[in-house]
């Protein structure tokens, strides 16, 4: 591995990213471009991300074919590096041409490892909360004049980007465990948010996932971990723990004083001593845990608590994490990346807190919860069928989108309908519909919701395209006033 990483930061070698528009690939391409590397990439779908890369000097090809590699060969010779992600199949024409041309091919994790290993760094791992926690750390460091570099798997509101190239000493990176590649990272500080079985297409059981994270931890200079997670408490020995349940026996703790639909007020402790109080404008116990981890990481960097507490009040979640899309016919539509049962449960608990407390960061306090969920991967759906049903049962109405395969081969009998059957057995009275397409899903949202509802769209597939379909619909009649058309509310 070490012999491969060194040339990845050689400015003489042009870097070409196949599928550069992806959230992880685009962050790396942007950082390298900012640092003066010759960077190109290909993607067949244009997007604001690609336009941003163009402005940063990245050359973007709109086709993925052998001609692109031929062009790179003519301009950069045999020194060009081709970067791929796990999502790029061996049949990709560019990848096949690059292999034929004898170009160096590396995984995106190799590039990220080269960046992480080249300077003091904080790498955030774990089953849930990685993107939010790394976003909060990077935002707090930037707000306290630490000028960090950041490589995040989501859009950071403070940066309006998933990447930031700073001049400060620290790099903050999200360390994805889905394919095991995070074992390559040698970060100064490793952070693990929590751990439970996921990515069952890669890990046969929880023990395999634990072993991978233990290898990640062993490669870190020091480790910060969540004492409230039973798996971490049992299998890891970090240099520092954080907790939201107790202040004794841990290095960092944040204990809630007040919780409501707009956020949390908490007292912050270090080694059992009260340091001060902060206001977190992100509701939900899971966000308190993410924020506590971020505070702890920044305190280990030596940032004063007073400055951090002030910066905390401006924090916002990354894109696709309870992301308000707009109002439609009296409903509020929120997009969320939740695609594991624990994430769905945490998101619905947070939304329910808004209903019950009468306080919400949304323009209006929601009155009911309409959960729109898209199962992601056959393997994950089969593994967690009962857990998904239990989590979705927290909603007032559930609408299921077609399962998103994410490249997996179908598993007979595993689809959205079997999830609906399981949910119906658990809560027979729960209003429940299954859609055959996103267009049909949009129509079901209209028929099954009413003004005052929060339409919470969850999933890691293409279900986030539901908003554009709702926008395209003509204003329809409100269910509680069939003779009066309801005007669509602009986002």
List 121's β-bridge partners, or say none.
Answer: 171
- Relative to beta strand 263-270, strand 252-260 is antiparallel
Domain boundaries, the chain: 2-106, 119-312, 323-485
Check whether 279 has a pLDDT greater than 50: yes
Check whether 125 has a pLDDT greater than 50: yes
How confident is the model at residue 319, as a pLDDT? 86
How confident is the model at residue 76, as a pLDDT? 62
Marked catalytic residue, from 174, 262, 270, 345: 174
How confident is the model at residue 9, as a pLDDT? 77
CB 254, CB 292: distance < 8 Å:
yes
Marked catalytic residue, from 130, 144, 301, 486: 130
User: What superfamily does domain 119-312 belong to in CATH?
Assistant: Mur-like, catalytic domain (3.40.1190.10)
Which H helix or E strand runs over 268? strand 263-270
Check whether 93 has a pLDDT greater than 90: yes
Check whether 303 has a pLDDT greater than 50: yes
The answer to whether residue 130 is catalytic is yes
CB 95, CB 31: distance < 8 Å:
no
Check whether 475 has a pLDDT greater than 70: no
Give φ, ψ of 326 to 5 degrees.
150, 180
CB 113, CB 186: distance < 8 Å:
yes
Angle at which helices 285-300 and 130-143 cross, to 10°: 50
Among 34-38, 226-230, 473-477, where is mean pLDDT lowest?
473-477
Over range 376-396, report the average pLDDT. Answer: 97
Q: Please tell me the distance from the alpha carbon of residue 387 to that of residue 123, in angstroms, as a whole number.
A: 29
- Interval 174-194: pLDDT, tens: 999 999 999 999 999 999 999
How confident is the model at residue 72, as a pLDDT? 83
Marked catalytic residue, from 131, 133, 139, 292: 131
Check whether 92 has a pLDDT greater than 60: yes
Over range 136-164, report the average pLDDT. Answer: 96
- Relative to beta strand 477-478, strand 481-485 is antiparallel
How confident is the model at residue 203, as a pLDDT? 95
Query: Considering the entire predicted model, what is its pTM?
Result: 0.89
Over range 146-172, report the average pLDDT. Answer: 95
Check whether 316 has a pLDDT greater than 80: yes
The matching CATH number, chosen from 1.10.510.10, 3.90.190.20, 1.20.140.10, 3.40.50.300, for 323-485 is 3.90.190.20
The answer to whether residue 174 is catalytic is yes
How confident is the model at residue 471, as a pLDDT? 87
Among the listed residues 211, 186, 35, the one whose alpha carbon sits nearest the alpha carbon of residue 110:
186
How confident is the model at residue 387, as a pLDDT? 97
Check whether 480 has a pLDDT greater than 80: no
CB 157, CB 224: distance < 8 Å:
no
Which H helix or E strand runs over 458? strand 453-458
Q: What is the mean pLDDT of the chain?
A: 92
Check whether 6 has a pLDDT greater than 60: no
Q: 2-106, what's its fold? A: Rossmann fold (3.40.50)
CB 155, CB 162: distance < 8 Å:
yes
Check whether 173 has a pLDDT greater than 70: yes
Q: Is 250 helix (H, G, I), strand (E, B) or coil?
A: coil
Residue whose structure tokens are 């086709």: 63
Over range 122-135, report the average pLDDT. Answer: 97
Q: What is the CA radius of gyration of the chain?
A: 23
């Amino acid at each position: 591995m070490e012999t491969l990483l060194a040339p990845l930061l050689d400015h003489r070698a042009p870097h070409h990213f196949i599928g550069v528009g992806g959230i992880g690939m685009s962050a790396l391409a942007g950082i390298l471009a900012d640092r003066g590397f010759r960077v190109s990439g290909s993607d067949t779908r244009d997007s604001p991300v690609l336009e941003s890369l163009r402005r940063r000097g990245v050359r973007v090809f709109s086709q993925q074919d052998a001609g692109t590699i031929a062009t790179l060969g003519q301009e950069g010779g045999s020194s060009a590096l081709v970067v791929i992600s796990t999502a790029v199949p061996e049949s990709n024409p560019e990848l096949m041409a690059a292999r034929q041309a004898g170009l160096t091919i590396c995984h995106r994790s190799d590039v990220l490892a080269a960046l992480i290993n080249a300077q003091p760094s904080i790498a955030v791992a774990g089953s849930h909360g990685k993107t939010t926690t790394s976003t909060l750390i990077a935002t707090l460091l930037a707000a306290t004049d630490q000028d960090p570099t950041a490589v995040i798997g989501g859009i950071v509101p403070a940066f309006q980007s998933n990447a930031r190239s700073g001049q400060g000493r620290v790099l903050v990176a999200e360390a994805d465990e889905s394919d095991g590649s995070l074992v390559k990272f040698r970060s100064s500080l490793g952070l693990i948010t929590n751990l439970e079985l996921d990515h069952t297409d890669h890990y046969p059981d929880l023990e395999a996932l634990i072993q991978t994270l233990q290898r990640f931890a062993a490669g870190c200079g020091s480790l910060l971990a969540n004492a409230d997670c039973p798996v971490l408490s049992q299998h890891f020995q970090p240099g520092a723990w954080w907790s939201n349940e107790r202040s004794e026996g841990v290095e960092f703790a944040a204990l809630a004083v007040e919780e409501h639909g707009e956020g949390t007020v908490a007292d912050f402790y270090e080694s059992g001593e009260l340091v001060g109080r902060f206001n977190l404008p992100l509701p939900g116990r899971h966000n308190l845990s993410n924020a506590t981890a971020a505070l702890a990481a920044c305190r280990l960097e030596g940032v004063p608590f007073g400055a951090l507490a002030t910066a905390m009040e401006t924090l916002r979640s990354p894109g696709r994490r309870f992301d308000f899309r707009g109002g439609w016919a009296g409903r509020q539509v929120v997009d969320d990346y939740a695609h594991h049962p624990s994430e769905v449960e945490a998101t619905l608990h947070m939304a329910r807190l808004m209903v019950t407390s009468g306080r919400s960061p949304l323009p209006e306090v929601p009155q009911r919860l309409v959960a729109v969920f898209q199962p992601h991967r056959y393997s994950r759906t089969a593994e967690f069928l009962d857990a998904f049903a239990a989590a979705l049962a927290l909603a007032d109405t559930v609408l299921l989108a077609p399962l998103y395969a994410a490249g997996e081969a179908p598993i007979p009998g595993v689809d959205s309908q079997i999830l609906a059957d399981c949910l119906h057995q658990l809560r027979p009275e729960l209003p429940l519909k299954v859609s055959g397409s996103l267009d049909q899903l949009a129509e079901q949202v209209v028929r099954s919701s009413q003004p005052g509802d929060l339409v919470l769209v969850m999933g890691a597939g293409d279900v986030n395209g539901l908003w554009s379909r709702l926008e395209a619909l003509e204003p329809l009649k409100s269910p509680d006033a069939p003779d009066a058309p309801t005007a669509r509310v602009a986002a």
